[in-house]
Amino acid sequence: MLRARIVLAAADGLANGAIARELKVCVNTVRKWRGRFAARGLAGLEDAKRSGRPKTYGPEVRVAVVAAATSAPPHPESTWSHRAISQWVAGTVFAKISPSQVGRVLADLDLKPHRVRRWLARRDTPDFWDRAADVCRLYRTPPAGAVVLSIDEKTAIAARSRKYSARPAAPGTPVRQEFEYLRHGTASLVAALDVTTGEVLTEPIARNNAVTFTAFLDRLDAVIGLGKEIHVVLDNGSSHTAKHTKAWFAAHPRWHVHWTPPHASWLNQVELFFSALTRRVIRHGDFVSRDDLMNKIDDYVVGHNQTARPYRWTYDGTPLKTT
Task: Tell me the pLDDT tens digit for each residue of 159-201.
Answer: 999 888 888 888 999 988 888 889 999 999 999 999 999 999 9
- Are residues 163 and 77 part of one domain? no
- Are residues 268 and 145 part of one domain? yes
- Are residues 281 and 206 part of one domain? yes
* Separation between Cα atoms, residue 228 and residue 142, nearest integer Å: 13
CATH at 222: 3.30.420.10
- Are residues 191 and 102 part of one domain? no
* Separation between Cα atoms, residue 66 and residue 148, nearest integer Å: 55
* Separation between Cα atoms, residue 124 and residue 121, nearest integer Å: 9
**Does residue 53 form part of some domain?**
no
**Does residue 313 form part of some domain?**
no
- Stronger pLDDT, 154 or 123, i.e. the higher one: 154
**Does residue 51 form part of some domain?**
no
How many domains does one find in the chain?
3
- Are residues 68 and 153 part of one domain? no
- Are residues 270 and 138 part of one domain? yes
- Are residues 244 and 145 part of one domain? yes
**Does residue 52 form part of some domain?**
no
Phi, psi of 248 (to 5 degrees): -65, -45
- Residues in a beta bridge with 194: 149
**Does residue 295 form part of some domain?**
yes
**Does residue 321 form part of some domain?**
no
What is the pLDDT averaged over residues 5-11? Answer: 91
Which pLDDT belongs to residue 323?
45
- Are residues 163 and 273 part of one domain? yes
**Does residue 121 form part of some domain?**
no
Which pLDDT belongs to residue 258?
97
Domain span at 22 = 2-45
Identify which of 95-99, 175-179, 260-264, 298-302 has the greatest average pLDDT: 298-302
Q: Strand locations in the chain, DSSP E?
A: 147-162, 181-194, 200-205, 230-234, 255-259
pTM: 0.72
- Are residues 69 and 149 part of one domain? no
pLDDT band at 58 (very low <50, low <70, confident <90, very high): confident
**Does residue 244 form part of some domain?**
yes
pLDDT over 90 at 75, yes or no: no
- Are residues 86 and 14 part of one domain? no
- Are residues 255 and 141 part of one domain? yes
Phi, psi of 54 (to 5 degrees): -65, 160
> Are 20 and 26 within 8 A, CB to CB?
yes
